[in-house]
Structure 1
Amino acid sequence: MSYLLPHLHSGWAVDQAILAEEERLVLIRFGHDWDETFIYGLFYYFMDEVLSGVAETIKNFAVIYLVDITEVPDFNTMYELYDTSTVMFFFRNKHIIIDLGTGNNNKINWAMKDKQEFVDIVETVYRGARKGRGLVIAPKDYSTKYRY
């Protein structure tokens, strides 16, 4: 499903995408497009399916880009991109931190399966960012105590 979303092929393109958006939230999914898990595994399939599925719904207040971390390794150390897929939020050239209850407030690094749940997160981040908040609290707690 990653072929349905725009890709950024250089560090400069990533910087320009973040800098160019004045009114919308910028979501960037860092990961691998060539990885076998994209086709056969659950992680990429679900995350990219959710991202492409909600792109039309959130287009008025958010834009989604994909970055292959092998092709563009510029941000791997800076954003600690060690996971197979990571979604990060930016607004007006500022990284928006989101408290999901997981301890890692910088990014979403697991597969989201529910499109409406992801739209709710994006709306919450957008509303908080528009108010000037650098830390936004997610509408749902994703800590492990609620996964059982």
Structure 2
Amino acid sequence: MKKQEVDAIIRDTINKVLVLHFGHASDPLCLQLNDVLSKSAQEVSKFANVALVDIDSVEIQVYVKYFDITFIPSTIFFFNAHHKKMDSGTADHTKWVGAFHKKQDFNDVAERQYKGAMKSKLIVSCLLPPERIPKYQLLYKDV
């Protein structure tokens, strides 16, 4: 996917959650997440669109830097071109880092984002149990 395509899908997805999955085409964890997302796409299609973005694309690096995508896979949510956040008990509320363990986990997160967006919430709480939320440590450059 090219930058112009990502720009267009963010701009043109109206009244639905846009799920942008940033990852590598060959990474096993990304492939697991791709599988979960593809199985869920039909079920969430009434309130969400899913798009896969290969972070190896040179054109996409502007998004990689802007969203500080240092861990792969990372999933970012939008609603009507606005970046949506989620408090999942991790240090970063701007994106979901890692894969979803089950299809239902993704469906629940996407639906939570949609319901929060419909109530004009800027950030929603993740309802998944802590054991199903990927854990990672943030690394800061030059600190």
Q: TM-score range by the shorter chain?
A: 0.7 to 0.9
Deviations 1:24-76 (CA, angstroms, capped at 9, x unpaired)? 1100001111x3x3xxx3x1232111100100000010000011111121211
2:108 counterpart of 1:120: yes
Residue aligning to 1:49: 35
Q: What does residue 68 of structure 2 align with?
A: 80
Stretches of structure 1 lacking an aligned partner (at least 5 in a row): 1-8
- Contact 1:101/1:141, CA 8 A, preserved across alignment: no
CA RMSD of aligned residues (A): 2.1
Cα distance per residue 1:90-126 (max 9 Å; x no partner): 0011000000111211111112121111111111110
Partner Cα distance (2:63, 2:122) in 1 = 20
Within 2, Cα distance between the matches of 1:23 and 1:138?
Answer: 21
- 1:140, distance to aligned residue in structure 2 (A): 2.2
Matched position secondary structure for 1:67: strand
1:104 equivalent among 72, 92, 96: 92
Structure-1-length-normalised TM-score:
0.83
Please state if 1:11 is matched with 2:3. yes
Kindly state the Cα deviation for residue 141 of structure 1 after the two structures are TM-superposed. Answer: 4.6
How many residue pairs get matched? 133
- CA distance in 2 between counterparts of 1:16 and 1:111 reads 25
Classify the secondary structure of the residue corresponding to 2:19: strand
Q: SS of the residue aligned with 2:53?
A: strand
Q: Tell me which stretches of 4 or more aligned residues in structure 1 moved more than 2 Å.
A: 140-144
10, 17, 24: which one pairs with 1:25? 17
